[in-house]
Amino acid sequence: MTADTVTQVLDHVDATLDAALDRLLTLLRVPSISTDPAFAADCDRAAEALVEDLASLGFDAAKHPTPGHPMVVAHDADGPEDGPHVLFYGHYDVQPVDPLNLWHHDPFDPQIEDTPAGRVIRGRGAADDKGQLMTFVEACRAWKAVHGVLPIRVSMFFEGEEESGSPSLVPYMTAHAEDLKADLALICDTGMFDPQTPAITTQLRGLAKLELVVTAPDKDLHSGMYGGAARNPAHVLAKILADLHDETGACTLAGFYDGVPELTNAQRTQWETLGFDAAGFLGGVGLSIPAGEQGRSVLEMIWSRPTCEVNGMTSGYTGAGFKTVLPSKASAKVSFRLVGSQDPQAVLAAMRAHVAARVPADCTVEILDANGAPATVMPIENPAFEAARQALSDEWPRPAAFIGCGGSIPIAGYFQELLGMDALLIGFGRDDDQIHSPNEKYDLESFHKGIRSWVRVLDGLSRL
């Protein structure tokens, strides 16, 4: 395949951007809120619209029912038989729009707005995930319009419950594994490192979580009559939580760092060249002193190190005024972000042992909602990763980077666990897109160059 072959497709993307934008705005007008049963018909309508669009491009596309919202699966009927086969994943459902009064306009009446930073697409789902999803669809449309066929075999898989916990996803993937399997998955639900630097996310932290409820007296007591003599569960809980970290910021749970890898020299060098502004990152939320493990950079801590965090604490009287009680119960929600090959169940077991060692004999503790999932790590030595990184670098001002992600994207792990597929996580969202919040937006540049990027990535993968 020649450079001119790709240039023709890129020129077509540029010439037809307005039409691509109109198609995205049409999809954004569908209020496909998956969490609210009142919008079930709209979720179905969004799925049907995607099926019709993909069918018009020559895909064998169908809507598949689930106990919740339908899945959309499509296979290119005209793609080449040789070369890699990719499965592209996205989701067509969106978050609720509350609080509605904070939106500048109807969230399902998307607008193109001029801002000091450039033109943006404003509306619910613009960045998460309809705009991202459509960058890939439009790249495929451009390839077919110019050359009649895609350069590699392509399948697509869209779900409608990502924003409501994906209850139907694993059962569907398990039951339809053979239909979904490909050589490589592509996931668009991620973002850029910064507006000039594209990224491929290769490390996703796992998660373990639980709630602790410590009970001491069988009812709230008068602190004047019982204080000092009766055990205070808030004190017990505070001790449990304080002992989770040592003076260096490291987690004290037995075996907590088993399976935690150190950065390779190549990773460390690449991350250092990104120019991450740690002071600006913390300063943006009113802080100035890094916490966490001493001797680790902020970027290292949020991308490649595990965490132990208290997410909430409740005990005694918390209303207006003052009530001098000695509480009966104290509770806390604790979560752990996991990396490498850390075992969520081992971490939870270590937490149970930590708690048990600190609860007095006349107190009880309940551990509720304890569950977890491991981290996901992609093998960047796979030639597809470097091919995609180079393709992105050809499109954007700065070279693409392999980065980590502080959060969790379960679908990437499911592709590995259930289908035996690694995933390229490539998206064009930006930190200020306000996903899940009022006035969500997607930069027009992200949409335009996102389409062009996927054109280049498809070409790069075809050369493997």
* Whole-number Å distance between alpha carbons of 169 and 162: 8
State the Cα–Cα distance between residues 300 and 268, nearest whole angstrom.
9
Q: Which pLDDT does position 118 carry in this prediction?
A: 95
- The predicted-structure confidence for 177-216, as pLDDT tens digits, reads as follows 999 999 999 999 999 999 999 999 999 999 999 999 999 9
Query: Both tokens of residue 454?
Result: 């996927």
Question: Where would I find the H helices in 203-277?
Answer: 223-226, 233-242, 265-272
pLDDT tens digits for range 236-287: 999 999 999 999 999 999 999 999 999 999 899 999 999 999 999 999 999 9
Residue 18 has pLDDT above 90, yes or no: yes
- Mean pLDDT on 76-92: 92
CATH 1.10.3720.10 fits 206-260+306-372, yes or no: no
- 353 pLDDT tier (thresholds 50, 70, 90): very high
Q: Which fold has domain 3-204+375-462?
A: Aminopeptidase (3.40.630)
Q: How many CB atoms lie within 10 A of CB 140?
A: 24
pLDDT recorded at residue 1? 65
Confidence of residue 409 (pLDDT cuts 50, 70, 90): confident
Backbone φ and ψ for 350, nearest 5 degrees, come out as: -65, -35
What percentage of the chain has pLDDT greater than the value 70? 100
Q: Is the pTM of this model over 0.85?
A: yes
Instruction: Give 372-404 pLDDT, tens digit per residue.
Output: 989 999 999 999 999 999 999 999 999 999 999
Domain ranges for the chain, please list them: 3-204+375-462, 206-260+306-372
User: Which of 71-85, 110-124, 204-218, 220-234 has the weakest average pLDDT?
Assistant: 71-85
Residues 6+ apart with CB under 8 A from 169: 159, 161, 162, 410, 411, 414
